[in-house]
Amino acid sequence: MRGPHNIVRLVRTLATMERTGAIGVVLEAMDAPPRLRAVARVLGWPFKWLGLKGDPALPPATRALTALGPAYIKFGQVLSTRPDIVGNELAEQLKYLQDKLPPFPLDQARQMIEAELGQPMAAMFSEFSEPVAAASIAQVHRARLAETGREVAVKVLRPGIERAFRRDVDAFYFAARVIEIISPASRRLRPMDVITHFDGVVQGELDLRLESAAAAEFAANTAEDEGFQVPEPVWAFSGRTVMTMGWAEGVALADNAAIDAAGHDRVQLGARVLQLFLKHALRDGFFHADMHQGNLKVAANGDLIAYDFGIMGRLDEYTRRVYAEILIGFIRKDYRRVAEVHFEAGYVPPDRDIDEFARALRVVGEPIFGMDASRISMARLLSYLFEVTERFGMQTRTELILLQRTMVVVEGVARSLDPHINIWQVARPVVEGYIATNVGPRALLRDLVQTARVLGRFGPKLPGMVEARLIAQSGEKDSAKAPLHPLWWVLAGAGLVWTGVILGALI
């Protein structure tokens, strides 16, 4: 599937951008260099006739992305949250991609639901509406359960969506391979790994049973979070292509006028979006990784409501601590510590100069502090950060791709609510709270106890393992030169762990 035939797909992408007029709009909005604009137009114009026409009623960029397919729509959804990168006008146009795409027929949705759940519609729902929202993956209907009268949202996958995504992702794989061949320097960014990661995320989003499980886990994790709601799934009416969950009533977070009319504080909402994301990522290691405005509402009481859990992110404890220390280092302007954390985590090759790296990070961080966020060009900031990573040989960390992407989206959402928000000031209490609890002596003691528990599981096997090793060593010709078995290191480590636990308890 990833052969040269994907060249046609990639050529058609550029041709579609040219035919719809999107290529000029996008390059202009992103302030692309004149040379790049000229090259793009020269390459796209000869193949313009191959481009997809799209819906002429839509603006150029939106028209092109909807014509190209779901993977491109996903990309447009991310850009719609970044007016600082693509400009206010283009960002506003791209918001259409969040939940206003053309729906598929109601009768087709009914047939899919009955086939998936094995029951007639009348037995499940006493009311079932026309689509109320349609996005790249699925569409949503408002309904009422026949048995209880509870109001619910029913999400149904688009017909043929799996094949459409497969086609797009195969083209992305091909493009990533071509980039690696043409530009060896790009290999440090691991484009193939990035696409593999994206592929895995998409496959998870195409199985609504996994989304139901994610929604249930996320609801349990955030049950005590003030000012935040998560509708829970209705398992009896959910399957691979259908998901039913509680109805979320509220004002769309993309509608600033409606938010103001309802009397909600947008400055407070912007801060809450950012702080909740950081809290979920750091505290739980499980976060909503698709937090654009189309997946957020404001309830009548001012609570944020999150839904659409097809893309969720996970971070292990070690990565969370690294991420928190990097953030707190920036917040405290301790660029030396930020550099040290990068080296300790292996993000930067050990042969690079740590002091030079710290100075380069200072150039990234300093422009943010004490400056109105509306005056900060995130595009320039990201451009310089890319130069820094290239200079110091950093490789793309695939485990952080989703976190970084979501941080970009969340910051864009927060800024759409409050253009003057300062991300570092808002993030500070959340990150410092995590650091106080999870980095330091208390965290060390907790780690020792956890390590002891893991080693304790092997306790019944240790005598036999030791005896077997002793017998094996006694039979060696030169036991004095025999290498020390890793088991002895395990035993020694276990002894040190228990010693640490006992001392910690005494202290």
Radius of gyration (C-alpha) of the chain in whole angstroms = 26
pLDDT value of position 123 = 95
Q: Inform me whether the pLDDT recorded for 344 exceeds 70.
A: yes
Strand pairing of 251-252 and 296-298? antiparallel
| Cβ 247 vs Cβ 145: under 8 Å | no
Residue 489's pLDDT band (boundaries 50, 70, 90)? low
User: Which range among 127-131, 141-145, 200-204, 339-343 shows the weakest confidence by mean pLDDT?
Assistant: 200-204
- Determine the average pLDDT of the residues in 99-109: 85
pLDDT of residue 162: 83
Which range, 290-294, 309-313, 355-359, 386-390, has the best average confidence (pLDDT)?
A: 355-359
Average the pLDDT over 381-407 and give the result: 68
Which of the two residues, 498 and 48, has the higher pLDDT score?
48
What backbone torsions phi and psi does residue 356 show, to the nearest 5 degrees?
-65, -40
pLDDT tens per residue, range 75-85: 777 667 666 56
Q: Which of 38-47, 52-61, 275-284 has the weakest average pLDDT? A: 38-47
DSSP secondary structure letter of residue 320: H
Residues 371-380 have pLDDT tens digits of: 665 666 555 5
Confidence of residue 504 (pLDDT cuts 50, 70, 90): very low
* Predicted local distance difference test score (pLDDT) of residue 69: 80
Average pLDDT over residues 217-221: 96
202 pLDDT tier (thresholds 50, 70, 90)? confident
Residue 204 burial by Cβ neighbours in a 10 Å radius (0-12, 13-18, 19+)? middle
Mean pLDDT of 1-30: 74
Position 254 pLDDT exceeds 90: no
Average pLDDT score, the chain: 79
Q: Clarify whether 84 is annotated catalytic.
A: no
Q: Whole-angstrom Cα distance, residue 360 to residue 354? A: 10
More confident residue, 385 or 219: 219
Q: Which pLDDT score, from 0 to 100, does residue 478 have? A: 53
Residues 6+ apart with CB under 8 A from 486: none
Owner of token pair 């959910």: 238
Q: CA dist 181 to 14, 186, 187, 395, Å?
A: 20, 9, 9, 17
User: Which range among 39-43, 278-282, 387-391 shows the weakest confidence by mean pLDDT?
Assistant: 39-43
Q: What is the pLDDT of residues 66-103, one digit of tens each?
A: 888 877 887 777 667 666 566 677 777 777 776 667 88
Measured distance CA(85)–CA(79) in Å, rounded: 8
Checking if the pLDDT of 282 tops 70, the result is: yes
**Is the per-residue pLDDT at 250 higher than 50?**
yes
- pLDDT of the residue at 481: 52
Residue of 290, 303, 353, 372 marked active site: 290
